[in-house]
Amino acid sequence: MASQDWFDKDFYKTLGVDKNVTDADLKKTYRKLARKYHPDSNPGDAKAEATFKEISEAYAVLSDKEQRAEYDQIRAMGSGARFTSGASGANGGFEDVFSMFNQGRGGQQSADFEDIFSMFNQGGSSFGSGRFGQPTGGYRGRGGPRRGADVMARTTIDFITAVKGETISLQGEDGKPFKIKIPAGVADGQKIRLRGRGRPSPDGGENGDIVVQVTVRPHPVFTRDGLNLRVTVPVTFTEAVLGATIEVPTLGGDPVKLRVAAGTPSGRVLRVKGRGVETSKGTGDLLAQLEVAVPSHLDEAAREALAKFQELEPKENPRADLMAKARA
């Protein structure tokens, strides 16, 4: 950055902060403005992009203690001091600055460059290099501070933990322990992001995040269907035909009783309201899918009874509709 810019620009005004602003409040203000004016949030808006560059430039200077001190010194000189170009002679355009340092020694001003340069810690180098002209890392290539790196972590949790939610302790890839709240209803493969908990920025920008990928162990009885829980419930042939009241398990609670209507076919789903996954976005249901269980062992009396029933059952072919659709 050229020193002329530091005379002309009020970085405190650009960020809307007081000259005595603390580092923490400065960072907080910058982050808020950066989110508002970032080009990714304002595609095609040239004015927003220009504003983003201005606040990034202002923060890059004010967040650096040495640059901020130099900036404050330069601004304290007042609006009368200017570096200009195009004047004749080696020291053309610097008269206003040297007059403020009481250098009135006639033609010897060029020998006193070290006075002004030492104030800027430039050691006699040209303006536009060193701290005045150095890049600040680049916020996605746009000149602001760089965001810190993310820290990745993985965890495997039980099915009931995924449904109910829980706070657990983990260790990131950098070896540092941390706690994370598993929200109720987290899905297998989902990633949970802890914003600002990752590695710090190398040049005063936002911290990275901790990103945790969750694996959910399968449950021996229940499965997820969005916010609903599914369970397969066996029923006997006679329960399905004649009807019955049966018990159905719930996740982590007492079983509920359901009425199976007479003539219920295998595969029918009975719904229990509000016994699914409970989240801030809503609560699901428990879906009980009935499955007629065929007995694998029959004694002689049962076999004779079924044979008699077979003689009496309606002579309907349950596959007739299936065959007709297949031919069509």
What is the full per-residue pLDDT of the chain (328 aa) written as tens digits?
Answer: 434 567 678 889 999 999 899 988 998 898 889 888 887 788 888 898 889 888 888 888 898 888 888 888 877 765 444 444 444 444 444 444 444 444 444 444 443 444 444 444 444 333 333 333 334 444 444 557 888 999 899 999 999 999 999 999 998 777 788 899 999 999 999 999 999 988 888 888 889 999 999 999 999 999 999 999 999 999 999 999 999 999 999 998 899 999 999 999 999 999 999 999 999 889 999 999 999 999 888 999 999 999 999 898 888 888 898 999 999 8
Answer whether residue 306 is part of any domain.
no
Q: What share of the chain is helix, strand, coil (3-state, %, to 5)?
A: 35, 20, 45
Answer whether residue 146 is part of any domain.
no
Q: Examine the domain organization and report whether 158 and 122 are in the same domain.
A: no
Domain count, the chain: 3
Q: Examine the domain organization and report whether 105 and 11 are in the same domain.
A: yes
- pLDDT score recorded for residue 167: 95
Answer whether residue 327 is part of any domain.
no
Q: Examine the domain organization and report whether 44 and 117 are in the same domain.
A: yes
Rounded to two decimals, the pTM is 0.54
- pLDDT score recorded for residue 97: 44
Q: Examine the domain organization and report whether 95 and 158 are in the same domain.
A: no
Q: Examine the domain organization and report whether 113 and 30 are in the same domain.
A: yes
Answer whether residue 58 is part of any domain.
yes
Containing domain of residue 75, as a range?
3-133
**Closest by Cα among 249, 193, 188, 254 to 218:** 188
CATH assignment of the domain containing 193: 2.60.260.20
* Helix axes of 23-37 and 46-62: crossing angle, nearest 10 degrees: 160
Q: Examine the domain organization and report whether 11 and 129 are in the same domain.
A: yes
- Phi-psi region for residue 301, left (φ > 0), alpha (ψ -120 to 50) or beta? alpha
Answer whether residue 231 is part of any domain.
yes
Answer whether residue 271 is part of any domain.
yes
Answer whether residue 193 is part of any domain.
yes
- State phi, psi for 153 to the nearest 5 degrees: -150, 160
Answer whether residue 305 is part of any domain.
no
- pLDDT score recorded for residue 250: 96
Q: Examine the domain organization and report whether 195 and 229 are in the same domain.
A: no
Distance from the first to the final alpha carbon of the chain: 79
**In the chain, what's the furthest Cα-to-Cα distance?**
129
Q: Examine the domain organization and report whether 209 and 231 are in the same domain.
A: no
